[in-house]
Copies of this chain bind each other. A is one copy, B any other.
C-alpha cells in the first residue's frame, strides 16, 4: 500500500532520542528508538528485539519492553493495539489512526482530514474530556 507522506514521516531517519527530563539516556533506549524510526512498519516488541539485537547483541527482551514502555510513557512513541494481538509501536507523533490489511497483517498510518475534530463526527456526551483517541481500521486492499 502506498505510504502517505507526513511531517513525521519526513523526520530524520536517525534522529537521536530527545533528552527529556526523567528519561535517562541509555544505549538500549537510543537503539530501540532508532529502530522504530528506521523502519516505520509498526513492529511488535518481539520484532524490535530481533532488530535491536543486531546492534546490541546482549540486550534482553525485558529491556526492549522496558524501553518501549519508557518511550510510550514519555509520549515519544505510540502503542498500537489491534484486537488482542501483540502491541505494535509507532514513532509517528502526528495525530493519526491505523489501518491493518487483513490479508497481510501489515499496519499503515492513516491521517485525519485537515481541520477535522473528533466532536465533528462523534456525539460526545456532556462534560467528557477526551485524552486519548484510537482509530483502528481493518480491511482489504485492492489487488494488493
Q: Interface residues of A, CB < 8 Å — how many?
A: 43
Please report the C-alpha to C-alpha distance between residue A118 and residue B94 in the assembled complex, in whole angstroms.
19
A133-B123 contact given A84-B81, A128-B142, CB 8 Å threshold = no
Chain B residues within an 8 Å CB radius of A127: 141-143
Within 8 Å of chain B (Cβ to Cβ): is A54?
no
Q: Within A76-131, which residues are at the interface with B (CB < 8 Å)?
A: 79, 81, 83-84, 87, 97, 99, 101-102, 108, 110-113, 116, 118, 120-131
Given contacts A110-B125, A121-B116, contact A137 B141 (CB under 8 A): no
Per the bound structure, the CA–CA distance linking A112 and B87 in Å amounts to 27
A10 interface residue (CB < 8 Å to B): no
Q: Taking the complex as formed, is A135 at the interface, i.e. its CB lies under 8 A from any CB of chain B?
A: yes
Contact A4 B123, beta carbon cutoff 8 Å? yes
Is residue A140 contacting chain B, with contact meaning CB distance below 8 A?
yes
Known: A1-B125, A2-B125, A84-B81. A137 touches B134 (CB 8 A): yes
- Is A30 interfacial (CB-CB < 8 Å)? no
Nearest residue, chain B, Cβ from A108:
B125
Other contacts beyond A4-B123, A127-B143, A136-B136: 15, CB < 8 A: A1-B125, A2-B125, A79-B83, A110-B122, A113-B120, A113-B122, A121-B121, A125-B141, A128-B141, A129-B142, A131-B140, A133-B135, A133-B137, A134-B137, A135-B135
